[in-house]
Amino acid sequence: MAQADIRTDLDPEVVQWVEMLQSPDLNDRLVAAKTLQHLGDEDTIDNLILALKDDSPKVQEIAVMALWEMANPVAIPPLLACLSSTHEESVRVEALSALKEMVSPDDLLTLLDAIQIKDETVQLNVLILLRKIHDAQALPYIAPFFESASPALREAAVVTLRYLNQVVKFEPALTLATDESDEVRRSATLTLGHLNDEAVVPTLCSALITDPDWQVRRNAAQALDLHATEKAIPALTSALADDHWQVRKFTARALQRVADDTAIPCLVKALSDEYSDVRRDAAIALGNLGNPDVISALKQTLDDPDRDVQIFSGRAIQKIQDKLAETTNA
């Protein structure tokens, strides 16, 4: 391990531990690193940064934690270096945790430099860190990862996209909604929900109806709930018959915002779904529609075995009756 100069103005108590941090004996270095972490003296920051290159991952971890607690921005570049694949996973995990709390918008350029390092582990972790900064200036640096040969990088990039401020359209994200990787498609469909772009709706509708992965279909329903567009009603009504209850649940929830009378037969059928969450959300959707023709079906759920279903069905009936009364009195 390389040795750092020991400052002459250090407290004598601190000096002994800084010296021990350079000992050839691992136990000595572990004790020294732990003690310096406890002391928290920022005058030792250069020594702790050097300890990030110690031969022992245990010493490296302690040094990371000590620098994390000091929260001095000067430690950010050396901590970024700890994200490389040459470090043990335990060190990378600790360094990423520290950086998540330490990075700020002022570190954008540092992160954009780091993301260009040809090390997938570094790139994955920097993509995660960029989510904290939210700066759309990062988009040109993230964009190439949408075409990466690595599914992990494609997935990380499309997740990061949803955290960038003022990004409302990004066509490559639509492409990833049909990616060969289930994980990529799951993340892509959620991200499409955060883009203010009507062009994503047909892609989400297709994913909701045709994707073989139920989690993709569920995420597509969640995304369509965010878009709340009538164009999605045919796909949503069809998805109420999905094989997976979570898809049906989030589909019913989306229909609470955009349903029209064409959805009534499917929603009424959903009142007898085997899962109470689906029954409850279908009752809410029917109440929002305000069509008195569904009151009879809703009354049949007032003795549902699930208390929430009873409550929300009662509220739906009351909502419809109130609307009917307003119309009559108008």
| pLDDT tens-digit series, residues 241-282 | 999 999 999 999 999 999 899 999 999 999 999 999 999 999
d(CA 37, CA 100): 19
Question: Given 2.40.10.10, 3.30.9.90, 3.40.190.10, 1.25.10.10, which CATH number is that of 168-258?
Answer: 1.25.10.10
What one-character DSSP code corresponds to residue 5? P
Non-local (6+) Cβ contacts of 75 within 8 A are 45, 48, 49, 67, 102
pLDDT, one tens digit per residue, over 108-150 is: 999 999 999 999 999 999 999 999 999 999 999 999 999 999 9
Please state the rounded mean pLDDT for residues 30-57. 93
**Structure tokens given for 126:** 């920097």
Per domain, the residue ranges of the chain are 168-258, 262-330
Q: What would the pLDDT profile of 58-68 be if each residue is shown by its tens digit?
A: 999 999 999 99
Pick 230 or 7 by higher pLDDT. Answer: 230
User: Which positions ≥6 away from 326 have C-beta within 8 Å?
Assistant: none
Spatial contact of 235 and 224, defined as CB atoms under 8 Å apart: yes
Amino acid 14: pLDDT = 85
* Letter string b/e over residues 224-247, b meaning 16 or more CB atoms within 10 A of that residue's CB: bbbbeeeebbebbbebbebeebbb
Q: What is the chain's mean pLDDT, rounded?
A: 94
Rounded percentage of the chain residues whose pLDDT exceeds 90: 90
The answer regarding whether domain 262-330 maps to CATH 3.40.710.10 reads: no
* Measured distance CA(305)–CA(299) in Å, rounded: 14
For residue 11, name the pLDDT band (cuts at 50, 70, 90).
confident
Distance CA 225, CA 204 (A): 11
Identical fold for domains 168-258 and 262-330, yes or no, is yes
Yes or no: say if 60 and 48 are a contact pair by the CB < 8 Å rule: no
Distances (CA, A) of 57 to 10, 49, 82, 93, 274: 26, 14, 11, 12, 52
Spatial CA neighbour of 237 closest among 211, 218, 209, 279: 209
Tokens representing residue 171 in the block: 């066509």
Which tens digits make up the pLDDT trace of 282-320?
999 999 999 999 999 999 999 999 999 999 999 999 999
